[in-house]
Amino acid sequence: MAKCLAIADLFIDQEMMENGLALLEEKGITVEVKNWQHEDLEALQKDNITLEKQGSEAVDLSEELLAGIEEYDYIITQFAPIGKKVIDRAKNLKFIGVLRAGIENVNRSYAEEKGITVFNTPGRSETSVSEYAVGLMLSEIRNIARADRKLRNGEWEKYYPNGVLAPELKESVVGLVGYGAIGQKVANLVRPFGGKIIFFDDYFTGETPDTQVSLEELVRQADIISMHYRLTPETKNMLNKEHFKKMKSNAVVINSARSGLINEQDLIEALQTKEITGAAVDVFEQEPLPADHPYLTLENVTITPHIAGSTIGNFANSPKILAARMVNEYLPTSMSTN
């Protein structure tokens, strides 16, 4: 009987794993859940950031997690690293499943050299991140977060960086940089507000009611610019000072995707000089945000601690999505070749 090691963490716990992977048990796969132990979420996040920036070999798994790993045919992980050491010790490993879209914590190329299939979970964050991106748009252009902060400090303030009268989504041009699953979901959420939606995406070729433009045209036309591209060496700093110079003075920039998509220092300078009106940012080059970070001194930026994807539905549904994908796409193929 095939065996699967599922590595739980502080976001997807043992119960979520067991419930979510029940379909694999129904298919005759024995699922054992072990925990990647961390003292708290901050410690887990620290390891996650290290893996995102330095790759799957940057953090080692404990011997407790590695014990008996040669017995497993499948490994399913969210954040726990699966690097060369793990792959070499897992002699029977045929499949690695990652419970999110990003696979920075897995040495994919090495796994595939060994004939191991690597699956991720695309689309798991569609709802959580798209809803959050729209929330950031509304919070920034309508001054919701900063008005709350002012009022709590005893200030009855109605004048903000975008003036006394805030803009409406209905009258705005919303530019989406990236039009994949999340970008399209954002478009679907924004469209009923009545604004015009334009987007840039080198890879989109389908039908859409929205208008596809170049990145240069997007930054010139948009009142709100929201980032939804995958971070790769080619897309790093894809929004930088050259683009901020071309934006409208009333433009606001939203980033709930990856910090590296925007040159952070260039964005800070554009906000400091009021080259653009504002920004809302959930992702940062250094996390947690340092106490002396320039964002903390600016009135024209809304900042949140990397929580766009942090919903119950996002994490609890991930094992279910992956299990269904395994059953539908991988297991029939693997069984037919055995």
pLDDT tens per residue, range 305-314: 999 998 988 8
Q: Are residues 241 and 315 in the same domain?
A: no
Q: Are residues 216 and 230 in the same domain?
A: yes
Rounded distance, CA 157 to CA 166, Å?
13
By annotation, the residues acting in catalysis are: 258, 287, 306
Label residue 123 by pLDDT band (50, 70, 90): confident
Mean pLDDT of 126-136: 96
Q: Please tell me the total number of residues recorded for the chain in this structure.
A: 338
Average pLDDT of the residues of the chain: 94
For residue 299, is it within any domain? Answer: yes
pLDDT confidence of residue 1: 83
For residue 146, is it within any domain? Answer: yes
Q: Is residue 55 scored above 70 in pLDDT?
A: yes
Q: Are residues 137 and 277 in the same domain?
A: yes
* Cα atoms in the Cβ-side hemisphere of radius 13 Å centred on 223: 18
Q: Are residues 104 and 49 in the same domain?
A: yes
Q: Is residue 337 scored above 80 in pLDDT?
A: no
Mean pLDDT of 26-49: 94
β-bridge mates for residue 4, sequence order: 31, 74
pLDDT confidence of residue 3: 96
Mean pLDDT of 242-270: 97
Q: Tell me which of 42 and 134 has the higher pLDDT.
A: 134
For residue 93, is it within any domain? Answer: yes
pLDDT tens per residue, range 311-329: 988 899 999 999 999 999 9
Label residue 251 by pLDDT band (50, 70, 90): very high
Task: Decide if 137 contacts 174 (C-beta within 8 A).
Answer: yes
Q: Is residue 338 scored above 80 in pLDDT?
A: no
For residue 338, is it within any domain? Answer: no
For residue 336, is it within any domain? Answer: no
DSSP class per residue in 167-203: --GGGPEEEEE--SHHHHHHHHHHGGGT-EEEEE-TT
Q: Is residue 333 scored above 80 in pLDDT?
A: no
pLDDT confidence of residue 334: 65
Rounded distance, CA 216 to CA 235, Å?
15
Domain CATH for 169: 3.40.50.720
Domain count, the chain: 2
pLDDT confidence of residue 335: 52
Q: Is residue 186 scored above 60 in pLDDT?
A: yes
pLDDT confidence of residue 288: 87
This prediction has a pTM of 0.84
Which residues span the domain enclosing 60?
3-120+311-330
pLDDT tens per residue, range 65-92: 999 999 999 999 999 999 999 999 999 9
Q: Are residues 112 and 165 in the same domain?
A: no
Mean pLDDT of 192-207: 95
Q: At what angle do helices 181-190 and 126-141 cross, to 10 degrees?
A: 50
